[in-house]
Amino acid sequence: MPPIISARGLSKRYGVAPLFQSISFTVSEGDRIGVIGPNGSGKSTLLEMLVGRVNPDSGDMAIRKGTRLSIVAQISEFAPGVTIRSVIETALERATVPEAERASRFAETLGRAGFAELDAHAATLSGGWRKRLALAEALVQAPDILLLDEPTNHLDFAGIQWLEFVLRNAPFACVVVSHDRYFLENVANEMVELNRAYEDGALRVSGNYSAFLEAKEEYLQAQKKRQESLENRVHTELEWLRRGPKARATKAKARIDKAHEMIGELAEMNARSRSASAEIDFSATNRRTKQLITLEGVSYGVGSRTLFKDIHFDVTSGMRMGLVGPNGSGKTTLLRLLRGSIKPECGKIRRAQGLRIVYFDQSRELDPDITLRRALAPDSDAIIYQDRVIHVASWAERFLFSAENLNQRVGRLSGGERARVLIAQLMLQPADVLLLDEPTNDLDIPTLEILEESLLEYPGALVLVTHDRFMLDRVSTVVVGLDGFGAAQRFADYSQWQTWQRAQVAMAAPKSADGNRSPRSAGDEAPRA
């Protein structure tokens, strides 16, 4: 059977730089395609192109007649006053679902997504529940192809596992842009990387993320051998050209033309193989104090809800603690307590004298009207990093920005670029304790890997909130799990916490048909944490 979507020779550019050139892309029934690539490689643009919102500069795309497509964007926003109920009812109308089927599809979709308070206002939901609602809005339309752009951003682990279950058992095809490596491992049966390092602009591999990594390594090794062989041939031809051969004979002229062709091919291959990566290195104060923060019988609540009750733990030098729990369980609140920006209702928090805490806030916004130059170096054209004076152009280069980008407004930067600016700002602040609240949102996989290496080498204490299970497993030396009802348990790793959580859910509530806990009120999750 022919593909549902078949695209050939797609090219797109914004301004001078091309996003991608002459790439091909197909979607067939049963495909679960994971799309990865560096920030700025055109992943989101490709989805917009497939759904028809963006036109390619060149290339052809054919879509099977009658195909229904749904797309869930990175940011899930709803108009003020719109309820959960009305979002889904409108989606059913838009998809022209027969009246007789609407009630059952409505109940099934929202039930599986975990919603019960259907008259809650969508705009007041936490980020994770807004994402769930956007996914439910797309699913209720019964698409033939579902397009998802970073769907795990803002979802808690339960939400991610629910989505994995839905996609693995779905009757439709899906195309998912994601930097969540465990998610891609569990869901994808095809992988595509958009990257100008590849001769065709993209590499497609059958299998999940692990299979892709193996195939990519083979591809790069083969490309390296080809490049070395071409370099040897070009060296031989250059030596011959230096001897000044005359182009009178047909054979000599053909050889000269071939030599110039090989030189051009080698230059293009060298340009493709050059890849820059961000340089991330957090500064520590080299404090020798072991005990940095101590929580003694700390309690805290929001409204009538108790988030923590009588919790005790220490943050010590060299510790890398991962904080986990459902949306609304108090992860961000606990970071704010550790930082001292809010006070506990009961108990004490002791901090070492002169303790320096640096905080990455997931909700922090950069001023969109200032230039990149001022965002990186607010007071002059130089910064001081690890006792060295560095010009802003060189500092920008560490985070993959060129000198030409310096006068660009921050509001024009992509999500990944803004995340790199925030990390650059953090690196200028030597810290005893790093508090990182969802630092991985919008970062591409190469930058994630560099961030992980930097955190592993950081000698101070780290408290990390992230939905990235791969990073959590790799970086954390201890995991503290919050249940949102007062308890905080300590675990050796994420897997141990997950086993405990499943046991708790099994004891607390009956399971629904898809393996999720029984639906809870969306309003229960409204306090963001």
pLDDT for the residue numbered 275: 62
d(CA 301, CA 88): 32
* Closest alpha carbon to 90 in 70, 106, 69: 106
pLDDT for the residue numbered 513: 40
Question: In one letter, which amino acid is 144?
Answer: D
pLDDT for the residue numbered 63: 96
Sheet of 69-72, strands arranged across = 69-72, 145-149, 173-177, 32-36, 190-194, 202-206
pLDDT for the residue numbered 247: 57
pLDDT for the residue numbered 364: 72
Please report the sign of the dihedral spanned by the C-alpha atoms of residue 401, residue 407, residue 408, residue 411.
Answer: positive
Q: Distance between alpha carbon 204 and the CA centroid of its chain, in Å? A: 20
Other C-beta atoms closer than 10 Å to the C-beta of 14 total 11
Per-residue model confidence as pLDDT tens for the chain (529 residues): 789 999 999 999 887 678 899 999 999 999 999 999 988 889 999 999 999 999 999 999 999 999 999 999 988 889 999 999 999 999 999 988 899 999 999 999 998 898 888 999 999 888 888 999 999 999 999 999 999 999 998 888 889 999 999 999 999 999 999 999 999 999 999 999 999 888 888 999 999 999 999 999 998 888 888 877 877 887 787 777 777 666 556 666 777 677 777 777 667 666 666 666 788 888 888 888 899 999 999 999 988 889 999 999 999 999 999 999 888 889 999 999 999 999 999 999 999 999 999 999 877 778 999 999 999 999 899 999 988 999 999 999 999 898 888 999 998 887 788 889 999 999 999 999 999 999 988 888 989 999 999 999 999 999 999 999 999 999 999 999 998 888 889 999 888 988 887 787 777 654 444 444 433 333 333 333 3
Residue 11: in which H helix or E strand, if any? Answer: strand 5-13
Please report the sign of the dihedral spanned by the C-alpha atoms of residue 406, residue 412, residue 416, residue 421.
Answer: positive
DSSP single-letter state for residue 7: E
pLDDT for the residue numbered 269: 65
* Closest alpha carbon to 130 in 158, 149, 166, 154: 154
pTM, two decimals, is 0.82
83 within 8 A of 121, measured Cβ to Cβ: yes
Let me know if 196 is exposed, middle or buried by CB neighbors in 10 A (0-12, 13-18, 19+).
buried
Angstrom distances, CA of residue 61 to CA of 20, 69, 335: 15, 14, 48
Other C-beta atoms closer than 10 Å to the C-beta of 368 total 12
d(CA 171, CA 150): 21
* Closest alpha carbon to 245 in 228, 258, 262, 226: 258
pLDDT for the residue numbered 249: 62
